[in-house]
Amino acid sequence: PAVVDESNPGVLWGAGNHSVLARLVEGATPEAVRQEVLRVQDLVREANPLWTPNPGHWNEARVTPLAEARGQSVRTPLLILMGAVLVVLLVVCANVASLFLSRGLERARDQAVRAALGADSGRLAVAQMVEVVVVAGAGLVAGLALGHGGLAALRPHLPTDLPGAQLAGLDGRIVLMTALVALLTAVTAGVVPSIRAARRDPAVFLRESGRGGGLSPSRRRATRVLVGAQIAAAIVLVTSAGLLTRTLTALNRVDPGFETEGRVTARVHLPPGLPPNREARAVYFEELAARLEAAPELGRVALASTMPFGGEDEYVATVIDGVTTDPNDLPVFPHHRVSPAFFDVAGIPLLEGRHFDLGDRSVSPLVAIVDRTFVDRYLGGREAVGQIVRYPWRGAPPIQVVGVVGTVYHGDLSGPAEPTIWVPLAQMGMGALGHATVLATATGEVDAGLAAITDRSRDLDERIAVSDLASYGSLLGASLAGTRLLTMLLTIFAGVTLALGCVGVYGVAAFSVRGRVREIGVRMAMGAPTGGIRLGVLRDGALLVLPGAVIGLLLAVPAVRALEGVLFGVVPMDPVTFGLAPTLLALAALVAVYVPARRATLVDPATVLRED
């Protein structure tokens, strides 16, 4: 229990890991609460018994509705994914419309003959609409089945901080919404072209058909627009997926500053009633570490108050002699209390000076180790070993820097590294924290090492509770889970869109070849080379793709701007990605057009002329 004494608002000073959850009284607004927080914030600042920071020490107070706070970290990725889903849906509509248009034109002569013989146009349209709805229904069932399986496969990869992630499933609302989308897609993509075809004057069509038929100029333009829209959408999604793939690659190349291979972690919740003095607690921690190291499943063992990517950090305002001039305006950066073996176990290299040792006790002079980022930012290349730092408390003793270690990232590989200070656990104790973090090397299987931490901790004291058991690599990987998931889904969407676009190109090219069979047969009978005919079909396919590709590149510019906040190590207008996307599309479209082009050269001129 956290004891709050309203008469002493400074009693919890320094417990910066606390959050406030409150229920609004009737008539209150978040802005009114924010103003009250600002007022109380000043009371706490002025009542601090240790030091009085300047008014600007805190960030501006924030009061956020709980539902908004739970979702604000994932809002941008979800909006990006929803946009991608919408693009895929539009491509599906365009593709279905194009295919049904082609199929409708193939059956148009039959429909025209039936209409000329007196068949009701409404009944013809209904027959085509039934076909479209049946196809849409089959697609709905298949889509729901794929969605169910996809969610089951995706759920283990969802970020742990995604609200409701583990509850995501196909409930009645999702099924109903999906059915409505399928129906709307069917009506938009299939029924409307069917109605327009049914309303066409059969006499006009039969006259055109008698002259050779084929696509009318308006329908030729319609099919080209539909295919161009699919190609443009594919370019947008392929470019976006490419940028995120390069981002993930860049993040995986960032050196976090520590080793994760073969390391296991756990949180040990200390029992009540431990002696309050630091020396007694230091002995307790050393006994715990010794018990853990005695386990054959574990190698070296270290304890810490917090550690990088461990789920939380301590931040402390620090006085740096000769650097900070205003004691009430101090830099704030991560602060870790660790046992002497921590740097060796974590694989953090020592660059200068020495590690902590068992002589660094509560009765000995205070010492600290800083990282390279601290030296670069605050000391400007000056000698770090021997530098004096202090806590901001009034009368705080000096802390001498005895070593410098490599730069360490703390929770986000995409941001700049923060300066870090490390102090001995035996000198500073655990403070108000009721737990310690265990970091150990596993000599064999990770699961066996984690089980050993639980068993040996309870051998020491059965009241110890052990939680948050994990491999250190999984903690680091969890920081990339959101980017990895976004990249994977956008890549899948891009692949689906690219495939649909190529299907559209293939469908239009194949339909065009079928409509030109007589022309191709005559040309081949007159001696036209097959290579020239094939090249002509390929050229027509390229002209079909080119406008969509150009429009897609133009649309990709604002689209990738929306990704700017999640990109790392790559600029939004990356020339490699923008050059690779159309190249990939061109190769895929070439494959899609090649089959109709090859089929065109297999026409038997004699057969075509006899049929004519």
pLDDT digits (tens, 9 = 90+) for 27-52: 888 889 888 888 887 877 777 777 77
Between 195 and 140, name the one with better pLDDT: 140
Rounded mean pLDDT of 188-199?
Answer: 60
d(CA 464, CA 271): 6
Among 75-89, 110-124, 464-478, 559-573, the range scoring the smallest mean pLDDT is 110-124
Residue with tokens 């004519």, as numbered in its chain: 612
* Amino acid sitting at position 349: P
d(CA 99, CA 94): 9
User: CB of 498 within 8 A of CB of 581?
Assistant: no
Model confidence band, residue 212 (pLDDT cutoffs 50, 70, 90) = very low
- Provide the CB-side half-sphere exposure for 427 (13 A, CA): 23
- Spell 65-100 as b/e; 16+ CB within 10 A means b: eeeeeeeeebeebeebbebbeebbebbbbbbbbbbb
Model confidence band, residue 185 (pLDDT cutoffs 50, 70, 90) = confident
Pairing of strands 263-269, 465-471: antiparallel
Neighbours of 18 (CB within 10 A): 7
d(CA 237, CA 91): 11
Pick from 414-428, 499-513, 589-603 the range whose average pLDDT is largest.
Answer: 414-428
Pairing of strands 399-405, 314-317: unpaired
Residue 121's pLDDT is 64
* Amino acid sitting at position 1: P
Model confidence band, residue 213 (pLDDT cutoffs 50, 70, 90) = very low
d(CA 98, CA 450): 58
pLDDT at 506 over 80: no
Six-digit token string for 287: 């006994």
d(CA 460, CA 289): 10
Q: Tens of pLDDT along 353-408?
A: 999 988 888 788 999 999 999 999 999 878 899 999 998 887 788 999 999 999 99
d(CA 11, CA 9): 6
pLDDT at 345 over 90: yes
d(CA 338, CA 302): 7
Among 267-276, 512-521, 568-577, the range scoring the smallest mean pLDDT is 512-521
User: CB of 128 within 8 A of CB of 197?
Assistant: yes
Pick from 57-71, 192-206, 218-232, 294-308 the range whose average pLDDT is largest.
Answer: 294-308
Among 74-78, 281-285, 427-431, 529-533, the range scoring the smallest mean pLDDT is 427-431
Rounded mean pLDDT of 264-282?
Answer: 79
Rounded mean pLDDT of 218-227?
Answer: 71
Q: Tens of pLDDT along 55-66?
A: 776 666 778 888
pLDDT at 101 over 60: yes
* Amino acid sitting at position 323: V
Q: Which residues on adjacent β-strands are paired with residue 389?
A: 320, 399
Rounded mean pLDDT of 185-202?
Answer: 62
Residue among 329, 397, 339 nearest 369 (CA) = 339
Between 9 and 463, name the one with better pLDDT: 463
Mean pLDDT score of the chain = 80
pLDDT at 105 over 90: no
Q: What are phi and psi of 98, to 5 degrees?
A: -65, -45
d(CA 314, CA 449): 27
Its sign, for the CA torsion 450, 452, 457, 462, is positive
pLDDT at 550 over 80: yes
Q: What are phi and psi of 442, to 5 degrees?
A: -95, 130
Rounded mean pLDDT of 528-544?
Answer: 74
Residue 233's pLDDT is 85
d(CA 128, CA 561): 43
Residue 127's pLDDT is 72
Estimate the crossing angle of helix 575-600 against helix 481-515, to 10 degrees.
30
d(CA 35, CA 444): 55
Residue among 96, 92, 106, 190 nearest 510 (CA) = 106
pLDDT at 10 over 60: no
To the nearest whole percent, how much of the chain has pLDDT over 70?
A: 80
d(CA 423, CA 412): 22
pLDDT at 532 over 60: yes
Among 20-29, 52-61, 191-200, 585-594, the range scoring the smallest mean pLDDT is 191-200
